Amino acid sequence: MTAQFTSSNPVQASLPDALKHYFGYDRFRLGQQSIIEAALADQDVLVIMPTGGGKSMCFQLPALLRKGVTMVVSPLIALMQDQVQALVDNGIGATFLNSSITGLEAQQRESSILNGDIKLLYVAPERLLSDRFTPFLNRLKATVGLAGFAIDEAHCVSEWGHDFRPEYRQLRNLRQRFPDTPVMALTATATERVRQDIVQQLALRSPVVHVASFNRQNLYYEVRPKSRNSYSELLDLMRQTDGSGIVYCLSRKKVDELAARLQQDGVAALPYHAGLSDRARSENQTRFIRDDVRVMVATIAFGMGINKPDVRFVAHYDLPRSLENYYQEAGRAGRDSEPARCTLFYGYGDSKTIEFLIAQKVDPATGEPLEEEQRIARQQLRQVLDYAESPHCRRTIQLSYFGERFDGNCGNCDNCINPKPVEDWTVEAQKFLSCVARCEQRFGMKHIIDVLRGSKDRKVLQRGHDRLSTYGIGKDRTADAWRTLGRSLLHQGLLEETTDGYPVLRLNAQSWAVMKGQQAVQVAVVPQQQDAPDLMSDRAKADVQMLLDLLRSLRKTLADAESVPPYVIFADSSLQLMARQQPQTLREFSRISGVGTYKRTKYGPRFVDTIRAFCEEQGIPLQDDGDEAVETSSPTPPSGKESGDRSALSRSYYATLELHQQALSPEEIAAQRGLSSRTIYDHLEKLIEAGEAIALDQLVPPEDQTAIWQAIDAVGDGSLRVIRDHVKEAYEYEPIRLVRAAWRNESKIDKTTDPF
């Protein structure tokens, strides 16, 4: 069943309306609308957006608004299945043809396509251009029509990209065979060279090129020093964050160990690495995608083809190999644009491990070191270290790596939120460097720190380093503090370290300048983590959390019944909104972002029931579903005061309005009309929200109004319980409901008429 777009001419109805109808979203993401407009005007388009930017929407919505079928080319079966599943779950006619289905199934699908039941057809490139497929394509074009081609992961056509696929090369024939059919190419690639290649290879005709920023605003980036506490920090992080996460480790062994340890500590985690059998890998992946487990501990083998949009955190337990790797791996978090956390645990020792691995890079034929490759790898590692140690905005550093300028102060990274205070550590640096000199530049960091702190370590005593003038002069600082200083000196080039696998500290000209007092040393010191203030009270938060858990488990039940991943039913963001706003009627429910017409009908009643049951249990007053007239009318309440607009609210409301205007109290109205006062309050609320002439002062004393109004300004109008909590329960629910209605009426934005 395909939900129909009700306007007879879809182009007349606005694009935002179509977006809400089919996908339930309230607004377009940056760039989407203009791309869609270009596609609807039959232009070629090249879309470059970072992962999670919402590329699919750019061809999916036009496909639904155009006559005929849109062919989508996609390289991986898993990606195809995911997208088709999500579309079908929105009641949209979509299907795929690939090697995973039988010949008979393929035939059935082809005939249903020719019947016009399908708007989006996903195929692998080799099939699209095969001789067997040509007659079908021609028939398709002659009958239902061919609206356009969408080439997903278009960077696969380029040998310069990291994912070159020879099959993609054949796509250049499309233009010759279907010269009039518009093409949209989409990719998340970052390099200019690949972009040019795409245009050329696919023979795009003066394409509209859209390059989105690579800034992933919703990702919070942080770097934490790796220490003995890192494991418990990781556990805390998992306990503080809801939802799924990925933890990347460098080696298979570490993956297995960490996964086992997390399991012991009660975290539902699974391992993923190239050492597991294909079956185990694909099973673990499915369990992760379906939310049967929360955490995937993985090597970088886990990534390509992971389309899970609701990954809430990605932690790197080991250093990534390059900043580009880090960007892509961390970027698997928050594809749904909801806040997500990217944590890098940075241990200086890890860089030694990677350096060791780099030194292993040799030509398998000759055994000679691959110097060029090693050099590049070392440079990439250096960039990762600089990133990790920098006191500057993490986002700025990442984006500058892609040649994009960003002016810092992103407000969503550790360095911007807790700027690292810079301290003058010149005296400490002098102590440290003299100690290196006294030890004759023959020892590594640990030994120097041991000497400074007056350690009785055997190695120190054996060398007689307890008799050095620098022995014990650094007792006032912790070993960690000295290490911070030591690394900072290295990174500022005020000290050198040998790189032959036995790191020894060496002095350079700058070191001597520091010791002679010719140069000051500033060090960024690591502050304590601090949480952003939150306006919600603990109790309200607990409520939201409780309801969220209920909604999650309902989602999981529904998903399991349909054998789909939970995010296909509703995205995390939609559940969060439901938990905060607690919509008690289908009408309110349909206002939640992510609830389109189809899903409202399919899932709405179950979710609304759960929310109502929760509210009842918590003593939050239930709202009437209202009369038929309200339930089925436009979701936007009428804003005008003219009688012409009145049809939207039923007569019963206006009977209440009339009595109110005769100065009767709600209780008196209830008595006179033989209705409950709850119903009357409900009427009043809706009348106020609709902008009818209700004398609010008669119902709620003005000073109470002010207090409640301010509370709503502070915590939003989502949940009555949250508002009441904010005013310390000084007011009952009824006045809060009435003031909220007035607040809503005032803040209502004039929307263009909604056709639904």
Query: Footprint of ligand ADP on this chain (CB under 6 A)?
Result: 25, 28-29, 32, 49, 51-57, 309, 335-337, 571
Determine the Cα angle at 490 with ends 384 and 512, to 5°: 160
Residue numbers at the binding site for Zn ion (CB under 5 A)? 393, 395, 410, 413, 416
The structure tokens 């650094």 sit at 474
Tokens describing residue 686: 């809706």
CB of 530 to Zn ion, least distance (A): 15
Shortest Å distance, C-beta 400 to ligand ADP: 22
d(C-alpha 655, C-alpha 657), whole Å = 5
C-alpha distances (whole Å) from 606 to each of 54, 468, 555, 560, 569 are 28, 76, 10, 15, 12
Instruction: Compare residues 25 and 443 and give the one whose CB is closer to ligand ADP.
Output: 25
For residue 606, the minimal CB distance to ligand ADP (Å) is: 21
Residue 528, CB half-sphere, CA atoms under 13 Å: how many?
A: 2
Q: Which does 28 bind (CB under 5 to 8 A by kind): Zn ion, ligand ADP, none?
A: ligand ADP
Nearer to Zn ion, 393 or 523 (CB): 393
> Residue 211, class by beta-carbon neighbours within 10 Å (0-12 exposed, 13-18 middle, 19+ buried)?
middle
Q: For the CB of residue 424, give the shortest distance to ligand ADP in the complex, in Å.
A: 46
51 binds, among ligand ADP, Zn ion, none (CB under 5 to 8 A by kind): ligand ADP
Least separation in angstroms between residue 584's CB and Zn ion is 40
393 binds, among Zn ion, ligand ADP, none (CB under 5 to 8 A by kind): Zn ion
Which one, of 401, 375, 371, 370, lies nearest residue 387 by Cα?
401
Q: Which does 416 bind (CB under 5 to 8 A by kind): Zn ion, ligand ADP, none?
A: Zn ion
Distance CA(367)–CA(406), nearest Å, equals 43
What is the torsional sign of CA 567, 571, 577, 583? negative
| Shortest Å distance, C-beta 212 to ligand ADP | 9
Q: List the beta bridge partners of residue 316.
A: 248, 344
State which residue, 53 or 718, has the beta carbon closest to ligand ADP: 53
Measured from the CB atom, is 415 or 573 closer to ligand ADP? 573
The dihedral over CA atoms of 536, 542, 543, 549, expressed in degrees to the nearest 10, equals 130
Task: Count Cα atoms within 13 angstroms, Cβ side, for 98.
Answer: 20
Chosen from Zn ion, ligand ADP, none, partner binding at 80 (C-beta under 5 to 8 Å by type): none
* 52 contact, one of Zn ion, ligand ADP, none, CB 5-8 Å limit per kind: ligand ADP
Closest to Zn ion by CB, 222 or 310: 222
Q: Which is nearer to Zn ion, 47 or 416 (CB)?
A: 416
Q: Which two tokens stand for residue 317?
A: 């337990």
- Between 55 and 395, CB nearer to Zn ion: 395
CB of 83 vs ligand ADP, minimal distance in Å: 8
Type of residue at 181: T
- Close Cβ partners of 263 (under 8 Å, ≥ 6 residues apart): 269
Q: Which does 56 bind (CB under 5 to 8 A by kind): Zn ion, ligand ADP, none?
A: ligand ADP
For 533, the enclosing helix (H) or strand (E) is none
DSSP string, 195-257: HHHHHHHTT--SPEEEE-----TTEEEEEEE--TTHHHHHHHHHHHS-SEEEEE-SSHHHHHH
Closest to ligand ADP by CB, 87 vs 121, is 87
β-pairing, 522-524 vs 422-424, is: antiparallel
State the minimum distance, in angstroms, from the CB of residue 526 to Zn ion: 16
Question: Least distance (Å) from ligand ADP to the CB of residue 302?
Answer: 17
The one of ligand ADP, Zn ion, none whose footprint includes residue 410, by CB under 5 to 8 A per kind, is: Zn ion
Least distance between ligand ADP and beta carbon 499 (Å): 38
CA distance 497 to 504: 5
C-alpha 505/C-alpha 444 separation (Å) is 5
Sequence-separated (6 or more) residues with CB below 8 Å from residue 412: 217, 218, 219, 220, 221, 395
For residue 413, the partner it binds in ligand ADP, Zn ion, none, with Cβ less than 5 to 8 A by kind, is Zn ion
49 contact, one of Zn ion, ligand ADP, none, CB 5-8 Å limit per kind: ligand ADP
Q: Which is nearer to Zn ion, 65 or 393 (CB)?
A: 393
Nearer to Zn ion, 525 or 655 (CB): 525
Closer residue to ligand ADP in complex, CB, 35/700: 35
Contacted by 443, from Zn ion, ligand ADP, none: CB < 5 to 8 Å by type? none
Minimum CB separation of residue 223 from Zn ion in Å reads: 11
Q: For the chain, state the CA radius of gyration.
A: 31
